[in-house]
Amino acid sequence: MPDDHAAPTTPALSRRAAVAGAGAAAVGIGLLAAGCSSGDSGSGSGSGGGATTGSSAAPSASAGTALGPASSVPVGSAALFADQKVIVTQPTAGTYEGFSSTCPHQGCTVSEVQGAALVCPCHGSTFGLDGQVQKGPATRGLTPQNVTVSGDRITLA
C-alpha cells in the first residue's frame, strides 16, 4: 500500500511548522519591546537646532513614507496626517516641522489643530507649532519627526 508511506510525513511537517511559527512570534515580540524602550530614551535636550528637527527621536513610521501635500499645511498652523500619526506644522511660510501626534501625557492622539495650537482631546494638553507644551497636563513636548518637503510632497526623512 503506497499510502502507508505518505501518511506519517504529514504530522511531522506540521509539528515543524508549529515550532517555526512560535519562533517567529518571539522575534516579533522582541522587536516591539525594542521599539518601546528606544522611544522612552529620546528626551535629549536639543542641540540648538535650526530649521530641521532633531536627531534623537525614533520615528513611528519609516523614512521615505509619504505624508501628503504640503499645501494641506496652512502657514501659521498645522495638519495632522492621521494614518502616519504625524503632525506637520508650518510656523512661517516654507518652514515645515514634523512631530509625532502621540501625546506625551498618556498617549492619546493630538488630533485638534486650532490655529497655532495643537490640542489633545483627552485631557486638553496644548502644544505650540514648535511642539513645546503650552498647557498641561503634559509636561514635555511632542516628539520631533524629521520631514522633508519636495515640491508639494511631504515625506518622512
In the complex, the residues that contact ligand FES under the rule CB under 6 A are 103, 105-108, 120, 122-125, 137-138
Which position has the grid cell 522582541?
Answer: 30
Nearest residue (CB) to ligand FES, 68 versus 125: 125
Question: Residue 26 is which amino acid?
Answer: A
Closer residue to ligand FES in complex, CB, 4/40: 40
Three-class DSSP category at 27: helix
CB of 133 to ligand FES, least distance (A): 10
Check if the beta carbon of residue 70 is closer than 8 Å to that of residue 150: no
Grid coordinates 495632522 are at which residue? 80
Closest distance to ligand FES from the beta carbon of 78 (Å) = 16
Bridge partner residues of 133 (DSSP): 127
CB of 154 to ligand FES, least distance (A): 24
Q: By C-alpha distance, which of 74, 77, 43, 75 is closest to 58?
A: 43
Nearer to ligand FES, 81 or 127 (CB): 127
Question: Smallest gap, in angstroms, from Cβ of residue 125 to ligand FES?
Answer: 4
3-state SS assignment for residue 107: coil
Would you say 3 or 40 has its CB closer to ligand FES?
40
